Amino acid sequence: MQTYAPPLRDFAFLLHEVLRAGESPVPALRALDPETTAAVLAEAGRIATEVLAPLNASGDRAGCRLENGGVRTPQGFAEAYALLRDDGWNALDCAQEWGGQGQPHLLGAAVGEMHVSANMALMMYPGLTHGAYSTIRAHGTEAQKRIYLPPLTSGRWTGTMNLTEPQCGTDLGLMRSRAEPQADGSYRITGQKIFISSGEHDLTENIVHLVLARIPGGPEGIRGVSLFIVPKFLPDAAGAPGPRNALSCSKLEKKMGIHANATCVMDYDGATGFLLGEEHKGMRAMFTMMNEARIKVGLQGLAQAAAAHQAAVTWARERLQGRAVIGPSDPAQPADPILRHPDIRRILMEQRAFVEGGRAFLLSTAALVDAVEHSGDPEAAGRLALLTPVVKAFLTDRGFEACVNAQQVFGGHGYIEETGIAQFLRDARVAMIYEGTNGVQALDLVGRKLPADTGQHIAGYLRETGEFLSACAADGSLPAEFLGPLAAGAADLGEGVAWLASEGPADPAGALAGATDFLHLFGLVCLGRAWADMARVAAAALAGTPEDPAFYEAKLATGRFYMARILPETALRLIRIRTGAGPVTGLAESAY
Amino acid sequence: MQTYAPPLRDFAFLLHEVLRAGESPVPALRALDPETTAAVLAEAGRIATEVLAPLNASGDRAGCRLENGGVRTPQGFAEAYALLRDDGWNALDCAQEWGGQGQPHLLGAAVGEMHVSANMALMMYPGLTHGAYSTIRAHGTEAQKRIYLPPLTSGRWTGTMNLTEPQCGTDLGLMRSRAEPQADGSYRITGQKIFISSGEHDLTENIVHLVLARIPGGPEGIRGVSLFIVPKFLPDAAGAPGPRNALSCSKLEKKMGIHANATCVMDYDGATGFLLGEEHKGMRAMFTMMNEARIKVGLQGLAQAAAAHQAAVTWARERLQGRAVIGPSDPAQPADPILRHPDIRRILMEQRAFVEGGRAFLLSTAALVDAVEHSGDPEAAGRLALLTPVVKAFLTDRGFEACVNAQQVFGGHGYIEETGIAQFLRDARVAMIYEGTNGVQALDLVGRKLPADTGQHIAGYLRETGEFLSACAADGSLPAEFLGPLAAGAADLGEGVAWLASEGPADPAGALAGATDFLHLFGLVCLGRAWADMARVAAAALAGTPEDPAFYEAKLATGRFYMARILPETALRLIRIRTGAGPVTGLAESAY
């Protein structure tokens, strides 16, 4: 049986003690007062536990069904969605101007983690809606905003993103879908899109598809792709859904996981679409949605790991097998809880160190989104762009691994679906794939984000980390068992950057052969910094007389595990990066 | 669509050029002449490709059904099983004395890899039968051998192993099933066993369950457990199946994978059983079966990785996306095969280096099984016991990882079941869990196998590796890019052993906290040695004028990848081992 306990104490610690939202220059962050925030998070957590989590396994078993062109979501999903919508959760971090609550993305991310932990498949329906909202808000005309933003914000409508076609995944330049201009300024959209999450469902009165297609006569390849708003029902001037548009879901994919989310083949048969942004500049607009989605996908990896870890801890407490080498916890029992065995502790600590470190990293990135949105500061925007592929790929690669490890704690009981632990792994797996595979994230990081703006953003990250380390060394605020490993990890990162900068231009294949390793090296250091931030706060708190010393002691203990056993992986990653292309491409293509 | 191409050239290379079966002191190995062996393997490969692989995805979709107490296997399974049985494949490495073909386990392992690559779930029906055969052969009375061995050898009957109960998995001392002695010398077996692979099915006229249970009045815990032969139909004195025994399958588990294998809850309601081996010495007998099964499970991890890798290579050749940074392979095509992209090459090389290195390691272990069986040499037996947990856990952990990586190559197409790649991951996942979880394998390795016989077996392994390295350095037979990394890996292994030997006795929790890391460190070096063996042969072959230089060049290229990018992980594993228990158990149990 899946259950879920919201990590409220951790959120309070991160928001107010580590990130110090109250001292932020961003008004929306500064406005997060601890009491109100705690109440909001507690209510969001209650919904996760009481409403969303109970539908997770049943939704997985039932899946979605395609009936007469409509998709039926699993029992209970419509009611749960209505509750989220009616209580305003969809609109939490949308602008008040469009009916949202104007809360910062930081709070949205905390709420999102809990809701996605409890039910990833269900949360994908509203999840992409926010991306559609952001894209229309950034690139739409005033009329488009007036028609589409209020219902997307309120959750009366949902949104989708339509990129992939059978022959065209990562390489969107291969796109074939066409958009023919009509006399009234609209376009006729024709083509097939695949892997469309939430492409059709029974949760709302309308669905707004954002669709990439080619306007005939435009440039070849990716520079000839435009973005269109293609609603399922065409709204009238007042925004009321009217005639059915010429689009349909022709197939639901059978997938390894997220059974309860409808992954649709969408057929556009001369559907009416409206240009969003400029002609042939579709990718620019779509990247608004993709960048937001990539952070949300990173959150999925983290959230599934968090839920799976909780389940594994519960199992490890309750399952009695064998006598612990450190002595029995209760000799009257026939055996010890497996939590007492060192190898089980090791595997649980790996999960915990990832989940808590990943959560801190993700929330700091969400706060950065708020800062960028508020200030438009190009340095902050560059940092966010740099970190986005790391958030997406590192948190999903490691989140999946944590789910595998959580399943392992269950032994044979983990492999049967009855215990519910396998679902976290099956659901989490997709996050490594969609919104650009993790390999593509690594290429984006090494090929685009590192050299962007003459490399100043990664240089800034390294400089800031160096300054942080110097300051910690000077004031003794960071315990020694954190300072040394983080300095070593940061040095490895610096070496990796230097190698890529010196070798990459002449040998791009060599740089790209190490792209995934570099992304993991960077991610390891990002979580190392997050752990250092937490450790400083925890150590300072323990120097006083905190109400709950056990919380801070646990933080330090978990952080020490990360520093001693996880972060040293940076050295291995650096070794691999430095091997360059030789070992990777040494085997001739013809020899495969 | 899943397809399968048997790696016949690789088998010929390993059997005759690397392992040099023809020069073995073991007669059954010496008898493996290249022509006959090639013909046998080709025929086994043909069956894998034409008979077994086509049933893999359909079996996964259909699963098993429990109807009126009987289990219906998927369509086509009965016919495929009958073909394997009638052509003598079940009996390949069984003794001629009992109707087998008397072939060595080495050949059995090569055939097994192909058949398990093609259809793991189907091959689990005959797979456990071999273990039952070996256990009865080693521990049975003459009468038991006469009745049970011929039908198990021929495949007319299958066998199972019944250990797990709901409250008792790893800790078999918690077992509750009872065996009450009867006046006629038989026992009445009562209890429930769970997770019984192939516990019930429609492939054969009888099923022989080997069941662990307690004889009342025996010692508490694991020392009071005995092993029983409990046939589904009780054979008469001539061995013909007679009355139905009081046992039944009451439930089939719904699992993440191996859907086509029946995982049964077995109820024994006063079933008639016959003591196998001595009273209260059930574990000793069962370990015959478990040790054999552990090597077979390691083979499953390897075999699924091999099949998944083949599928990923095929996809990477055919899927066109993007332009390669090294230049287009065919400018007339709209895009390049993704095989041309460095990050795809990296992920394929990781799989290939594991599959080919793992295959060499596994076959060398199978040859060791033959040597032990032939000579009974305690040194060889100690080496085999030492390597068994490494074969089981390293090959399944890494095999699963290779399946995940193969799926990743498919992008979104990997997550949908239609392409068939997800099944390899789902099926391979169980191999990390059953026959003792991989964590239990690590404890077995560090807690039992390292200190066994005053540590002489690991000392022998280290010494032999050192001598190998010295010989290679002296005669220049091993290319430098292999020699250095292997020496470094072996040194890390030596350091790990030394640390465990010095710290373990006083701090067993510290030793066990690093058990999984030590197992991986050892596995990395085992594959490193396998790669070095292959590299020497390949380098020597290329110094002459071989018929197929490309084969040997590919071996060297793949081996270089392993040495440059995979083997250096030993340093990280050693760092973790040396951290001891502190970071792992630093978080109090109460803080979870």
**pLDDT tens per residue, range B536-567:** 999 999 999 999 999 999 999 999 999 999 99
Fold of B285-442: Butyryl-CoA Dehydrogenase, subunit A; domain 3 (1.20.140)
* Annotated catalytic residue B418: no
**Confidence bin at B289 (pLDDT 50/70/90):** confident
CA angle A501–A504–A507, rounded 5-degree value: 155
**pLDDT tens per residue, range A48-75:** 999 999 999 999 999 999 999 999 999 9
DSSP state of B416: B
**pLDDT tens per residue, range B243-259:** 999 999 999 999 999 99
Query: If you search the block for the tokens 């070794």, which residue do you land on?
Result: A575
Between chains, do A584 and B400 touch, taking CB under 8 Å as contact? Answer: no
How far apart are alpha carbons A460 and B403 in whole angstroms? 38
Question: Is A487 or A290 the better-scoring residue by pLDDT?
Answer: A487
Average pLDDT on A395-405 reads: 98
Burial class (CB in 10 A: 0-12, 13-18, 19+), B476: exposed
Q: What is the pLDDT of residue A286?
A: 86
Between chains, do A171 and B516 touch, taking CB under 8 Å as contact? Answer: no
Q: What is the pLDDT of residue A473?
A: 96
Share of chain A above pLDDT 70, in %: 100
Q: What is the pLDDT of residue A53?
A: 98
- Chain B residues near residue A342 by CB distance under 8 angstroms: 509-510, 512-513, 515, 581, 584-585
Q: What is the pLDDT of residue A290?
A: 87
Q: Which helix (H) or strand (E) holds B419?
A: none
Between chains, do A254 and B418 touch, taking CB under 8 Å as contact? Answer: yes
Reading the block at residue B160, the tokens are 């199972």
Min Cα separation A9/chain B (Å): 13
Average pLDDT on B126-146 reads: 95
Question: For testing the chain A interface, which of B565, B566, B573, B576 should be mutated: the one with the most A CBs within 10 Å?
Answer: B565
How far apart are alpha carbons A128 and A198 in whole angstroms? 8
Name the residue among A169, A322, A508 with its Cβ closest to that of B411: A169
Name the residue among B169, B553, B565 with its Cβ closest to that of A583: B565
- Chain B residues near residue A577 by CB distance under 8 angstroms: none
Question: What's the distance, CA B242 to chain centroid?
Answer: 34
**pLDDT tens per residue, range A384-399:** 999 999 999 999 999 9
- CB half-sphere exposure, A157, CA atoms < 13 A: 26
Q: What is the pLDDT of residue B326?
A: 87
Say whether B91 sits in a helix, a strand or coil.
coil
Average pLDDT on B26-43 reads: 97
How far apart are alpha carbons B35 and B41 in whole angstroms? 10
Average pLDDT on A204-212 reads: 98
Residue closest to A269 by CA, chosen among A320, A308, A211: A211
Task: Find out whether B215 and B224 touch, Cβ atoms under 8 Å.
Answer: yes
Reading the block at residue B548, the tokens are 């197929």
Bridge partners (DSSP) of residue B337 are B320
Query: If you search the block for the tokens 């002489």, which residue do you land on?
Result: B456
Q: How many residues does chain B have?
A: 592
**Confidence bin at A332 (pLDDT 50/70/90):** very high
Between chains, do B321 and A585 touch, taking CB under 8 Å as contact? Answer: no
Min Cα separation B143/chain A (Å): 35
Residue A1: is its pLDDT beyond 80?
Answer: no
Q: What is the pLDDT of residue B505?
A: 92
Average pLDDT on A39-43 reads: 98
Q: In sequence order, what are the residues at sequence separation of 6 or more whose Cβ sits closer than 8 angstroms to the Cβ of residue B40?
A: B103, B107, B111
Say whether B592 sits in a helix, a strand or coil.
coil
B200, B292, B350, B435: the catalytic one is B435
Please state whether beta strands A157-162 and A206-214 pair in parallel, antiparallel, or not at all (unpaired): parallel
Average pLDDT on B568-572 reads: 98
Q: Which residue of A has its CA nearest to B555?
A: A587
Residue closest to A195 by CA, chosen among A255, A276, A274, A269: A255
Name the residue among A340, A422, A579 with its Cβ closest to that of B565: A579
Name the residue among B164, B553, B568 with its Cβ closest to that of A575: B568
Between chains, do B587 and A554 touch, taking CB under 8 Å as contact? Answer: yes
Residue B1: is its pLDDT beyond 80?
Answer: no
Task: Find out whether B174 and B128 touch, Cβ atoms under 8 Å.
Answer: no
Between chains, do B342 and A253 touch, taking CB under 8 Å as contact? Answer: no
Name the residue among A584, A588, A590 with its Cβ closest to that of B342: A584
**pLDDT tens per residue, range B185-218:** 999 999 999 999 999 999 999 999 999 999 999 9
Average pLDDT on B220-234 reads: 96
Question: What's the distance, CA A340 to chain centroid?
Answer: 33
| SS percent in chain A: helix, strand, coil, step 5 | 60, 15, 25
Bridge partners (DSSP) of residue B160 are B209
Residue B2: is its pLDDT beyond 90?
Answer: no
Question: Is B292 or A50 the better-scoring residue by pLDDT?
Answer: A50
How far apart are alpha carbons B119 and B423 in whole angstroms? 10
How far apart are alpha carbons A497 and A456 in whole angstroms? 12
Q: In sequence order, what are the residues at sequence separation of 6 or more whose Cβ sits closer than 8 angstroms to the Cβ of residue B474?
A: none
Phi/psi-derived region of residue B239, left when phi > 0, alpha when psi is between -120 and 50, beta in every other case: left
- Chain B residues near residue A322 by CB distance under 8 angstroms: 170-171
Residue B232: is its pLDDT beyond 80?
Answer: yes
Q: Which helix (H) or strand (E) holds B234?
A: strand B233-235
- Chain A residues near residue B169 by CB distance under 8 angstroms: 321, 411-413
Q: Which helix (H) or strand (E) holds A150?
A: helix A142-154
- Chain A residues near residue B550 by CB distance under 8 angstroms: 588, 590-591
Q: Which residue of B has its CA nearest to A441?
A: B343
- CB half-sphere exposure, A38, CA atoms < 13 A: 8
CA angle B71–B73–B75, rounded 5-degree value: 145
**Confidence bin at B290 (pLDDT 50/70/90):** confident
Task: Find out whether A308 and A399 touch, Cβ atoms under 8 Å.
Answer: no
What is the domain partition of chain A in residue ranges? Answer: 285-442, 453-584
Q: In sequence order, what are the residues at sequence separation of 6 or more whose Cβ sits closer than 8 angstroms to the Cβ of residue A554?
A: B587, B588, B591
Query: If you search the block for the tokens 């290379």, which residue do you land on?
Result: B13
- Chain B residues near residue A560 by CB distance under 8 angstroms: 582-583, 586
Q: From the CB of residue A588, how many other CB atoms can be counted at a distance below 10 Å?
A: 11
Residue A133: is its pLDDT beyond 80?
Answer: yes
Average pLDDT on B575-590 reads: 95
Between chains, do B171 and A592 touch, taking CB under 8 Å as contact? Answer: no
**pLDDT tens per residue, range A270-303:** 999 999 999 999 998 888 888 889 999 999 999 9
User: Nearest 5°: phi and psi at B66?
Assistant: -100, 115
Residue A574: is its pLDDT beyond 80?
Answer: yes
**pLDDT tens per residue, range A152-198:** 999 999 999 999 999 999 999 999 999 999 999 999 999 999 999 99
Average pLDDT on A96-114 reads: 97
Name the residue among B443, B512, B571 with its Cβ closest to that of A571: B571
Residue closest to A277 by CA, chosen among A463, A72, A73, A137: A137
Task: Find out whether A262 and A199 touch, Cβ atoms under 8 Å.
Answer: yes
**Confidence bin at B286 (pLDDT 50/70/90):** confident
Between chains, do B256 and A415 touch, taking CB under 8 Å as contact? Answer: yes
Between chains, do B572 and A572 touch, taking CB under 8 Å as contact? Answer: yes
Q: What is the pLDDT of residue A289?
A: 83
Task: Find out whether A214 and A179 touch, Cβ atoms under 8 Å.
Answer: yes
Q: What is the pLDDT of residue A185?
A: 97
- Chain B residues near residue A568 by CB distance under 8 angstroms: 572, 575-576
Q: What is the pLDDT of residue A272?
A: 98
**Confidence bin at A139 (pLDDT 50/70/90):** very high
Question: What's the distance, CA A537 to chain centroid?
Answer: 26
Q: What is the pLDDT of residue B502?
A: 96
